[in-house]
Structure 1
Amino acid sequence: MEKKVESTVPDTSRRDFIKKAGLAAGIMIVPRYVLGGKGFIAPSDRLVIAGVGAGGKGQSDIANFYKSGKAEIGFLCDVDDRRAAKSREAFPKAKYYKDWREMYDKEHKNFDAVSISTPDHNHAIITYHAMQLGKHVYVQKPMTHDIWEARLLTEAAKKYKVVTQMGNQGSSNDGTRLLSEWYDADLIGDVHTVYCWTNRPVWPQGIQWPAPQPNVPKELDWNLWLGTAPQKAYVDKLVPFNWRGWWDYGTGALGDMGCHLVEAPFRVLGIQYAKDVQASVGSVYVDEFKEGHFPESCPPSSHITLTFPKTNKTKGDVTLHWMDGGIEPERPQELLPNEQFGGEEGNGTLFVGTKGKMYASTYSDAPTLLPTARTKSANAPRKWARVPGGAEGHYAQWVEGCLAGYGKTELSSSFDKAGPLTEALLMANLAVRGHELKGGRIKLLWDNNLMKVTNFDAVNQYIKREYRTGFELKA
């Protein structure tokens, strides 16, 4: 007998239809063949999704949920009609809103889950309010803009018992699982050092705030785009991409690529919360003799070092180096002179163990043992179940998890996993901002229980920011 799975908050019209059909037939459950014939998916087995952020990555997320075959895109929401155009064309029956607050207020009984793909500064407020309504949530990486927000959402997922997933699809890739199996089989010994690097940013950073533009595009609601961020006049080219390089909205290269590259060390080594962090950052020069000082903008490059305490999978502390802006670690001696190091796109993760080394590219693709000849002959027991479809299956995994219900299935990047990962990356950004405040490099000591830096209080202001009136996030 096939199990009937119901969504968290059923659609009123869907519920009424089933009820009326059941009464007419003199039964309470309507067989699937009566509803739609062979292969038909009953309404109660389809996830109705509201997409907040319908352009760019939001567009591809929504399309991938629909491809699962078990999701219906019931509602779309975007502050920019230009960005939403393709999704609206693809899902013409989806009701469209500009303000997520209005959509939640009017339609919350008519959808089961929310996909959030907005600039970083609005992730937490949109996600948290959806969770309060009992909605399952999928939010793009990084999970939040601030550390306090990440901790809040991690705890809220348990409180409201909703199914969660962060959009770092590499966590569903086979590569992370293969790296774990190699490590668990002791092929590289005890890992004590990890390097993660990226060619990002590929947007402007370390620059002066642009001059405001008098005319906001008619398709864009600038007030809604600002959301939780401080009130500022519209500037050109911030939307849809260059916001990443500004602290009010983005989290720099770490926020963009960190969740993809640091994911593997978290899973392979079992690390979670760092205990200290320090950073060096690239300088900007406005002319031959004068160094630029642009505190609103993320730096053009950085090298950040985090220390993670010993876990049950390591013999001691783990030092993780993050490098962006084109900075890379020294090539391992085990590589031949012309062999590729990391991914061709300029990203990579290198594990250094007491018996050897291994690395992978973005999304933990192309896992490789060093010397590379070891990769083909590596023999490690298969311990970890693969996600069907790998990275692409990340979306269907969440849909299936939502239909099954809270606690019924394990997801690759549920908030209990994504929360600590996000906090570590945002803590690394504290070191970058601390470098700016201190005027140089300092090691920040972190108290995870108090959620604060204990030796340089000035940087704690960035753990939880002030929200603009009308967009407050209240726990």
Structure 2
Amino acid sequence: MKNLDHSNQRRDFIKKASAAALAVTIVPRHVLGGPGYTAPSDKLIIAGVGVGGKGESDIKSFADSGKAEIGFLCDVDDRRAATSRSRFPKAKYYKDWREMFEKEGKSFDAVSVSTPDHNHASPTMAAMEMGKHVYVQKPLTHDIYEARRLAEGAKKYKVVAQMGNQGASGDGVRMLREWFDAGVLGDVHTVYCWTDRPVWPQGIPWPTKTSAVPKELDWDLWLGTAPYKEYIDGLAPFNWRGWWDYGTGALGDMGCHLVEAPYRVLNLKYPKDVQCSVGSVYVDGFKRGYFPESCPPSSHVTMTFPKTDKTQGDVELHWMDGGIQPTRPEELGANETFGDGGNGVLFIGTKGKMMCGTYGTNPQLLPLSRTEQEKVAKKYERVSGGANGHYAQWVEASIAGYGKKELSSPFEIAGPLTETLLIANLAIRGVDVRVDKGNNRFDYPGRNIKMLWDAEKMEVTNIKEVNQFVKRDYREGWKL
């Protein structure tokens, strides 16, 4: 990375790694070189923040590209980090990314962030301020304000920044774009996106029973930017998604994979208004009460997007989760799979319809027989390796330097896409925001609301109470 002033540190790192490699009985091929060999000095040195679960597979994918070295690992939970530490034994390990950045910042080129949603923005911004390229798992951020700031930061600091929604690099979304651009669908005015998530608990009260913190977990670091609460079993490593302090619900988990396709096909940006209704759940035989900490078990959100250069008028986009699905289109046979079953996207235009599964996979025109009949020119270059090439694409772009190679999900696109999902979450939370009317009396604003959004000001203009969720207050010791 010649544009970053740490060539001496890289050489020191490579010397140590090479010396250790030579100590083994059989010298690995990558040390000897050969056809397709990438010299260590041309490799991207990556520091991983959150290296268990999805982070574990992320850093492995970077290493598998053959053009990256995993130089440093960071995780708040030793149990989750175990596989990555075993796989990359030469990588130095930390629990606090702030310490890793301070001590090792001159020795790595790029940072991969795969923490729970509430801790995405802080290490990402810190890395960009240091001139490091960044790869961040979806959704890009927990809050709308954070997404706007990160998109601005990537441009300001001129770093290669990609969000981890791998389907953006797949062939499917490119095929969808080519059909649409060729006029096969006419004017698309309505889109449906649906998912069978959540598969974790939602619509429940915060547990009252606390537990001892596992010795391998630094609970304070896990909480990070979020308000302090006592440890409870089952929250980490996965069920945090259903709690607003840490996660972004089904939208955050699957929205970037499903809404990305219509976002790119129709060149959408920010919705101008959002309507929402949420499902109910029964707890101990009684209908759910007011559980402000928890995402609802299901929701149906309708977003209206203004006319773009790809559409003739407004576009209505429906998001459905918790098992809710749109009515099957009449062109789809009774035994033919709708989307990929539990998830999918349906585009409705004036001349036809098309659909795909999660990540934009299996794009099809309706009726399905039309898929093979419509022949259109290949307009968009494919990413080598498709969705799996999403990682190598970022590595290669980072090595080339800012602005030299195209990315599938750069922050300039991932930022507004994430904002859109979080705006929808504002409406979901707005259904249950209780408004103080005085004399300790609280009322719901309504079970089905319509929220008006001012994108420039980043605020809801008609239900002011939900603006508290646009930008949350970080716990002391954390900043953006």
Give the alignment's TM-score, normalised by structure 1: 0.93
Amino acid at match of 1:151: R
In structure 2, what is the Cα distance between the partners aligned to 1:117 and 1:227?
14
State the secondary structure of the residue aligned to 2:131: coil
State the secondary structure of the residue aligned to 1:443: strand
Conservation of the 8 A alpha-carbon contact between 1:7 and 1:44: no
175 and 162 in structure 1: CA distance in 2 versus 1, 3 angstrom threshold: same
Conservation of the 8 A alpha-carbon contact between 1:154 and 1:419: yes
In structure 2, what is the Cα distance between the partners aligned to 1:85 and 1:116?
17
| 2:324 corresponding residue in structure 1 | 327
Conservation of the 8 A alpha-carbon contact between 1:7 and 1:45: no
Conservation of the 8 A alpha-carbon contact between 1:307 and 1:318: yes
2:311 matches 1:314: yes
Deviation string 1:252-299 (CA, Å, 9 cap, x unpaired) is 000000000000001100011111111100012235554422110000
TM alignment of 1:183-202, pairs within 5 A: 183-202=180-199
Amino acid at match of 1:442: I
2:388 matches 1:388: no
Conservation of the 8 A alpha-carbon contact between 1:9 and 1:110: no
| 1:397 corresponding residue in structure 2 | 393
2:448 to 441, 444, 469: 441
| 2:299 corresponding residue in structure 1 | 302
Conservation of the 8 A alpha-carbon contact between 1:6 and 1:45: no
Stretch deviating more after TM superposition (326-335 or 451-460): 451-460
Deviation string 1:354-413 (CA, Å, 9 cap, x unpaired) is 011000000000001000000112211110000000000000000000000001111000
In structure 2, what is the Cα distance between the partners aligned to 1:243 and 1:335?
37
Deviation string 1:333-363 (CA, Å, 9 cap, x unpaired) is 001111110104x100000000110000000
Amino acid at match of 1:352: I
1:456 to 463, 471, 479: 463
RMSD of the TM alignment (CA)? 1.6
Amino acid at match of 2:199: V
Conservation of the 8 A alpha-carbon contact between 1:12 and 1:109: no
In structure 2, what is the Cα distance between the partners aligned to 1:290 and 1:48?
53
In structure 2, what is the Cα distance between the partners aligned to 1:278 and 1:85?
44
| 1:29 corresponding residue in structure 2 | none
- CA shift at 1:214, angstroms? 3.5
TM alignment of 1:55-74, pairs within 5 A: 55-74=52-71
Conservation of the 8 A alpha-carbon contact between 1:270 and 1:311: yes
Conservation of the 8 A alpha-carbon contact between 1:166 and 1:413: yes
| 1:421 corresponding residue in structure 2 | 417
1:205 to 174, 190, 202: 202
| 2:46 corresponding residue in structure 1 | 49
In structure 2, what is the Cα distance between the partners aligned to 1:13 and 1:228?
31
Unaligned runs of 5+ in 2: 16-30, 434-444
| 1:350 corresponding residue in structure 2 | 346
- CA shift at 1:89, angstroms? 0.4
Unaligned runs of 5+ in 1: 20-34
In structure 1, what is the Cα distance between the partners aligned to 2:390 and 2:211?
42
- CA shift at 1:215, angstroms? 1.0
In structure 1, what is the Cα distance between the partners aligned to 2:451 and 2:386?
37
Conservation of the 8 A alpha-carbon contact between 1:49 and 1:114: yes
2:89 matches 1:92: yes
Amino acid at match of 1:127: T
| 2:240 corresponding residue in structure 1 | 243
In structure 2, what is the Cα distance between the partners aligned to 1:89 and 1:288?
47
- CA shift at 1:471, angstroms? 1.1
State the secondary structure of the residue aligned to 1:442: strand
Conservation of the 8 A alpha-carbon contact between 1:229 and 1:468: yes
60 and 435 in structure 1: CA distance in 2 versus 1, 3 angstrom threshold: same
State the secondary structure of the residue aligned to 1:471: coil
Amino acid at match of 1:423: E
TM alignment of 1:286-297, pairs within 5 A: 286-288=283-285, 290-297=287-294
Deviation string 1:101-160 (CA, Å, 9 cap, x unpaired) is 000000000000000000000000010001011100000000000000000000000110
Deviation string 1:404-446 (CA, Å, 9 cap, x unpaired) is 0001111000100100100000000000011111242221111
Amino acid at match of 2:463: F
- Give identity over the alignment, percent: 69
- CA shift at 1:9, angstroms? 4.4
State the secondary structure of the residue aligned to 1:233: coil
Give the alignment's TM-score, normalised by structure 2: 0.92
Conservation of the 8 A alpha-carbon contact between 1:56 and 1:83: yes
